[in-house]
Amino acid sequence: MPELPEVETTCRALAPYLQGQTLQHVAIRAPKLRQPTPAAHLLEGRQVLTLTRRAKYILAGLDDAHTLLIHLGMSGRFSVFPHQGHAHTPTQLTKYPHPPLAKHDHAIFTTPKGELRFNDPRRFGLLLRIPSPELPNHPLLVNLGPEPLEETFTGAVLHAALRGRSAPIKPTLMDNRVVVGVGNIYASESLFAAKLHPSLPAGKLTKTQCTTLAQCIKDVLNKALHTGGSTLRDFRHPTGEAGHFQDEFNVYDRAGEPCHICGTKILQATQAQRSTFWCSVCQSKRRKT
Ligand SMILES: [Zn+2]
């Protein structure tokens, strides 16, 4: 499942093709993904004024006071086919030697810069057209917590968000109301970096531990961003390259393998229906930090 670094990578890769560009041609081939998709004629001819990310949503602000919200879901990804510097009209574009459409190419956006195809075999993705003024209060966005990569996300903010929570820290970190975009991989990796046991009660973390953890979350996400996100199952870059962050995992998906720090075998357990990985020595519950 694409996580925050992959969505940020996608957003940055799409920007040259979308930001400031007019959607010359839009084809919507699936009337419904997780929710009904917008009709193509409502998007066609619109200019994309802004392209931003909030949590795992890509937001394309259009010039008709609407926003196209894109979520990659479980298996969504974009393929990008640049126009290679030619002048184009929609008629000319059809003659381009782009590969034939794939079975799960559900939406195709053509701008003067290229063709973007949204492919989603499992159809858990979202394409929604939302009036821009309603965006902050939209049910998908209204309860989202802070962005981990922004400066405003600090140990103090995390400490306050965890106060009174008795659930284990690992699934709590994955709660979008606490902090957005820390999915299963990055929760395990951040806790390893912070030397915190994944079962510690979230509300019992000290301010110092929260400061360390907030910094580790930033470091782990930034590292993933610089390596282009992880490639797991369905995720590929919009340009077709694979990410390499999975080569850097310390604990995730490494059950039974030796810890990179101490050599102890990495353990695996299920928390809130998700796999958690940790080192019982580096992340000892009794460890003093
Ligand atoms: Zn270890």
| Mean pLDDT in residue range 33-42 | 97
Asked whether residue 237 carries a pLDDT value surpassing 80, the answer given is no
Ligand 1 centre distance from Cα of residue 196 (Å): 11
pLDDT digits (tens, 9 = 90+) for 260-277: 999 999 999 999 999 999
What mean pLDDT is predicted for residues 221-249? 63
Mean pLDDT value of segment 156-185: 96
pLDDT (0 to 100) of residue 236: 47
Mean pLDDT calculated for residue range 142-159: 96
Please tell me which residue, 235 or 195, carries the higher pLDDT value: 195
Please tell me the distance between residue 143's alpha carbon and the centre of ligand 1 in angstroms.
36
Across the beta sheet with 57-62, the strand order is 48-54, 57-62, 66-71, 126-131
pLDDT above 70 as % of the chain: 87
pTM of the model: 0.84
Q: Which of 46, 53, 56, 113 is catalytic?
A: 56
35-44, 89-98, 185-194, 212-221: lowest mean pLDDT where? 89-98
Q: What gap in Å lies between CA 165 and CA 186, rounded to an integer? A: 20
pLDDT of residue 287: 56
Annotated catalytic, 95?
A: no
What pLDDT is stored for residue 82 in this prediction? 85
pLDDT (tens digit, 9 = 90+) per residue, 89-136? 444 444 456 788 889 999 999 999 999 999 999 999 999 999 999 999
* 264 CA to centre of ligand 1 in angstroms: 5
Is position 3 annotated as part of the catalytic site?
A: yes
pLDDT higher than threshold 80 for residue 209 = yes
Looking at the predicted structure, is the pLDDT value of residue 83 above 90? Answer: no
Task: Write down the catalytic residue from 122, 123, 218, 274.
Answer: 274
% residues pLDDT > 90 (the chain): 76
Determine the distance separating the centroid of ligand 1 and the alpha carbon of 195, expressed in angstroms.
Answer: 9
Query: For 147-154, what is the mean pLDDT?
Result: 96
Q: Which residue has the higher pLDDT, 91 or 279?
A: 279
